[in-house]
């Protein structure tokens, strides 16, 4: 299987709203400028993990939410150059576990 893109094209480059599927099954859906993801977008990994939020220059940048299916949790916070940075809110799908707010974390989530 090869990479596949559906959407707008300008001068041979992906531009405008588009969906890009990688050969491994990961899917990017959002706005592309000169073949680079910009603005609000969804990144859906073949594992079921997801990221919904802001992108700049093709990287997670600004507010976003990472949903980790295997961990049964979601993390909302600020991303900087693809890395969760600063305070975050962790939401567990198990109702017996409280929502943790303002957890200080810096590191790669997904």
Quote the pLDDT of residue 104.
52
Instruction: Compute the half-sphere exposure of residue 8: CA atoms within 13 Å on the CB side of its CA.
Output: 11
0.85 exceeded by pTM:
no
Res 67: pLDDT: 92
Nearest to 78 by CA among 101, 43, 53, 45: 53
Q: What local confidence, expressed as pLDDT, does residue 84 receive?
A: 87
Q: How many helices (H) does the chain have, and how many strands (E)?
A: 0, 9
- Do residues 45 and 26 make contact, with C-beta atoms less than 8 angstroms apart? yes
Pair of tokens at residue 57? 């220059």
Query: What per-residue string of b and e applies to 14-23 under the rule 16 or more CB within 10 Å gives b?
Result: bbeebbbbee
Question: Which residues of the chain fall short of a pLDDT of 70?
Answer: 1, 94-110
């Amino acid at each position: 299987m090869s990479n596949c893109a559906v959407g707008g094209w300008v001068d041979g480059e992906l531009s405008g709203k588009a969906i890009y599927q990688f050969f491994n099954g990961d899917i990017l859906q959002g706005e592309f400028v000169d073949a680079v993801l910009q603005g609000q977008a969804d990144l859906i990994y073949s594992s079921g993990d997801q990221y919904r939020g802001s992108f700049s220059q093709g990287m997670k940048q600004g507010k976003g939410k990472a949903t980790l299916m295997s961990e049964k949790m979601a993390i909302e916070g600020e991303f900087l150059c693809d890395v969760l940075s600063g305070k975050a809110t962790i939401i567990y799908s198990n109702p017996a576990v409280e929502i943790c707010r303002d957890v200080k974390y810096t590191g790669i989530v997904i």
